[in-house]
Structure 1
Amino acid sequence: MNFQKITHRIMISLALIICLNPILLPQIVDATGNIPQSNNEDFSIELIGSYEIGGSTTDVEVEGSIACISDLSSGIHIVDVSDPQHPKKKGLYLDGPPADGPHEIHLENNRVYVADWYDGLMIGDISNPRRPKQLGQHLDGGEAYGIDVQDEIAYLGDAEDGFEIINVTDPSNPVELAQMRNFGFIGSVFIQESLAFILEIRVGLHIINVSDPEHPVLLSSFSKPTATRVIVKQDICFLAAYNQGLSILNITNASNPIEIGSLQTLTFNLVIEDDLLYTTGFQEGIKIYNISNVADPQLLTSYSEYAGDYLGIDIQNGYLFCTISKFGMQIFSTPHSTDAEAIADSIPGYNFLTIMQVLVGVFGLIFWKERENNL
């Protein structure tokens, strides 16, 4: 093989590298921390949009391009967040004058399940967000506060009636399967497979086997008197407890939860995506932790620029949605936001650089291939 051919093949290889560089670029960005993995550097969130209500917002759930926001005074706001920078109101559900109003909500398959205090469990259809429809109600005189739904069964936390399990296969006719009234005020509820994690105000966490929803069985309890929210990832339970901080429990044996870590920070609500824990804590705002080592969470960043109580929180496509009492909802971009424009904006010149690299690579390949064929 002569010197010219060797030179030509080297040039073709270089052209391929140039052409592939736009594909490799995100990996380089990843490694430097702009799109974080497990390091603590350069992680930040940016406020990009807001939706003002002005009442007393408590919770938010996002599914696809729709966010549902519960407000104690005005009901459930249905908001189009397909453009996170410009959220738009689509409709209002439960817009009557309730005695207290909706607390926790669960959004699934265009149905919204609402723990609506004196009005019990409310089920609405928001497939047409401009005209939401009432599908059904379960009312037994209690005060509904917490809600989770799995496999067409609703799990309701109640201030008076304890823990309720309700079949909602036919949403127009919810049927109560079981009730555990030996508890006091049940707030937040979280379901993972056959286990229910419920929080009893002034007591703490109870773990219940609900594999037979008509015959739930209490497995264990963990004392945390000011517990407000609970979430579970695999065999790890994260327990937010207001002014008692955050407890991290190993629940491999659900009959014997073991505390393996804690955070001394004001925590009200929380959500997990991948190895990131997002929390709200009233006027302490939002805090984000790396939990790749669950026993030792590392604070990545925090945000508390609005003078209000940060309460509800959810995450969708890397965008963070947070409710603030007496304001409404704020939307934040994170390094995990999947919107192409948001990613491009975080890398100056990325679009121009990408186009130029592709053009140079393609023309280089054509030129050197023709030269080689002519030899």
Structure 2
Amino acid sequence: MKKKVILSTTLACIMAMSAVAPAVFAHDELEVDGVSKGERTVLSNVQVQSLPEASFNGQKKVSSFSEAAAVQISELNGVQNNTADVYAHKGFAYLGTHIANGANGGVRVFDLKDPSDPKEVAVFANDDVPGTWQEKVIVKSVNTPHFKGDLAVVSVQQLNSNADTAGGFLLYDVTDPYNPKKLGFWETYDRTNGTHELYLAQQGDRTLVFASNPYADYYSTAYHEPEERRQKDFQIVDVTNPAEPKTIWEFDPRTLPEIQANPTFNGYHWTDEHGKSRAVFNHSVITDNNAQYAYVSMWDLGTVIFDIKDPENPVYLGRTDYASDQQGSAHSAALAKGGNILIETREVSNPVREGFESSYGYTRIFDIKDKSNPILLSEFKTDLVDNIEDGRTFANTVHDPKVHGNTLYLSHYSGGVYMVDISNPSKPTQIGQYVPAQSDVWGVFVDRNYILASDMGQGLKVLTRGK
């Protein structure tokens, strides 16, 4: 895991002062003002904000949330970490951890046999790579010639990109969730922080990880690495043998017609047809259930859609687009209606930028029956997105989407979890909301009859949906 190249002090200083270096990365920009995504106060003994008489968009609420359980993650070596994303598999919840209190909080496993009393039963991926945080975890049952069982893939990101170790993702056998076993590690380019978000899917007898490695393109290009060491932000990795992950394809945005027509892209910045500077990097990726199509959240390039039936040779199909005055910030995606509807959340945390609308991030819904031509059906805005007087903050922007049937669930930081009826995707209607006191909800996941939420300061929430 040691870095392969040590850059000279002279080169590092040149890069720090270089005109080509982006002054501020879109996803990290709040750190400049001392407001860092993920630095949250760890809370305990909080009360749920009750919304029994609420109405939404002039309509009577038809559903509500009840909190079945709320449990903080345990201290690890005397340190109280905060939570990041949440995933569930076979009656167990898996919570990633973020950067507060020194990171290395690993993945926390909770037994949900009694959803009203979750029990933390294991921790893994916490001490494999020093100085890292483990935000995202995906767990699926796979069956290949090399591995049969429940496989977990965990993102690994460096707190310091100049550290002696690289980020990437870890692979664990969690067939016995009480005793996770490390299988393998895939590294990103040294100068990046690592893999931010990822996805795991089985395609036939192959198991694939789809990795989002923000700024890998920019840094490996700007540091003039030889071609064999340059990496792109979106990579497909074959993990059929989890002990020997192998990169099989990566995406270069320079191949897209719109960027070729206006070739200003430097691995991060691109000037669009309206003359506006846009940030282009891979923040997140999902696939459909059969891993036939990938949906890549490329920030201001929108959600980019690929045919991945041949994962060594994916085919670009199309992407979502924005109005000229709309910040892009394509953060995450979910699918609905058998894969014919795309939900795109946009994490806009700086609501006031010259030349753009004044708004925090909100959700957009597309018809993608023709994946080469996504058609915008509607935009769903919560009651928080217009609170621009709050200044720069992640509290008011939407974060992650999940879909169960005709219901869309949105994690929304201070807004908690929103429940939205998308029976008619052209007219999404808010039908419920869960807001714990001092809410800071990062992730949401639907598990059987329960909705799981991860609050950064408060840990795991288990919610039931009322009628």
1:40 to 1:213, Cα distance in 2 relative to 1, 3 A: farther
Matched, 1:157 2:253: no
What is the CA distance between 1:40 and its match in structure 2?
6.5
What is the CA distance between 1:90 and its match in structure 2?
0.8
Alignment of 1:204-283 (within 5 A): 204-223=302-321, 225-233=328-336, 234-242=339-347, 243-265=360-382, 266-283=397-414
Give the secondary-structure state (helix, strand or coil) at the position aligned to 1:85: coil
* Separation (CA, whole Å) in 2 of partners of 1:257 and 1:174: 33
Matched, 1:70 2:96: yes
Stretch moving more, 207-216 or 222-231 = 222-231
User: Which of the numbers 108, 111, 116 marks the counterpart of 1:80?
Assistant: 111
What is the CA distance between 1:246 and its match in structure 2?
0.5
What is the CA distance between 1:41 and its match in structure 2?
5.1
Contact 1:220-1:256 within 8 A present in 2 as well:
yes
What is the CA distance between 1:128 and its match in structure 2?
2.3
* Separation (CA, whole Å) in 1 of partners of 2:335 and 2:301: 19
What is the CA distance between 1:230 and its match in structure 2?
0.3
Contact 2:410-2:418 within 8 A present in 1 as well:
yes
Stretch moving more, 109-118 or 163-172 = 109-118
1:100 to 1:223, Cα distance in 2 relative to 1, 3 A: farther
Q: Letter of the aligned partner of 2:310 in structure 1?
A: D
Matched, 1:123 2:171: yes
Alignment of 1:54-203 (within 5 A): 54-72=80-98, 73=103, 74-96=105-127, 98-109=130-141, 110-117=150-157, 118-141=166-189, 142=192, 143-151=194-202, 152-159=207-214, 160=216, 161-182=232-253, 184-192=280-288, 193-203=291-301
* Separation (CA, whole Å) in 2 of partners of 1:86 and 1:283: 25
Stretch moving more, 144-153 or 113-122 = 113-122
Give the secondary-structure state (helix, strand or coil) at the position aligned to 1:186: coil
Matched, 1:299 2:430: yes
What is the CA distance between 1:121 and its match in structure 2?
1.7
What is the CA distance between 1:203 and its match in structure 2?
3.3
2:454 paired residue number: 323
* Separation (CA, whole Å) in 2 of partners of 1:255 and 1:236: 13
Q: Letter of the aligned partner of 1:131 in structure 2?
A: N
What is the CA distance between 1:157 and its match in structure 2?
1.0
1:40 to 1:319, Cα distance in 2 relative to 1, 3 A: farther
Larger radius of gyration: 1
Give the secondary-structure state (helix, strand or coil) at the position aligned to 1:228: strand
1:139 to 1:83, Cα distance in 2 relative to 1, 3 A: same
* Separation (CA, whole Å) in 1 of partners of 2:72 and 2:398: 23
Contact 1:201-1:227 within 8 A present in 2 as well:
yes
1:303 to 1:323, Cα distance in 2 relative to 1, 3 A: same
Q: Letter of the aligned partner of 2:66 in structure 1?
A: E
2:72 paired residue number: 52
* Separation (CA, whole Å) in 2 of partners of 1:191 and 1:51: 31
1:285 paired residue number: 416
Give the secondary-structure state (helix, strand or coil) at the position aligned to 2:320: strand
Pick the structure with more helix per residue.
1
Give the secondary-structure state (helix, strand or coil) at the position aligned to 1:116: strand
Give the secondary-structure state (helix, strand or coil) at the position aligned to 1:329: strand
1:244 to 1:42, Cα distance in 2 relative to 1, 3 A: closer
Question: 1:199-238: per-residue Cα shift (whole Å, max 9, x none)?
Answer: 1234321111211111122222223622221011220000
* Separation (CA, whole Å) in 2 of partners of 1:84 and 1:271: 20
Stretch moving more, 225-234 or 244-253 = 225-234
Q: Which ranges of structure 2 fall in alignment gaps of 5 or more residues?
A: 1-58, 74-79, 142-149, 158-165, 217-231, 254-266, 268-279, 323-327, 348-359, 383-396
Contact 1:40-1:290 within 8 A present in 2 as well:
no
* Separation (CA, whole Å) in 1 of partners of 2:331 and 2:115: 28
Contact 1:79-1:87 within 8 A present in 2 as well:
yes
Q: Which ranges of structure 1 fall in alignment gaps of 5 or more residues?
A: 1-38, 337-375
What is the CA distance between 1:133 and its match in structure 2?
0.7
Alignment of 1:34-45 (within 5 A): 42-45=62-65
Stretch moving more, 39-48 or 309-318 = 39-48
Question: 1:278-300: per-residue Cα shift (whole Å, max 9, x none)?
Answer: 11111011110111111111111
* Separation (CA, whole Å) in 2 of partners of 1:273 and 1:150: 19
Contact 1:91-1:130 within 8 A present in 2 as well:
yes
User: Identical aligned pairs, as a percentage?
Assistant: 20
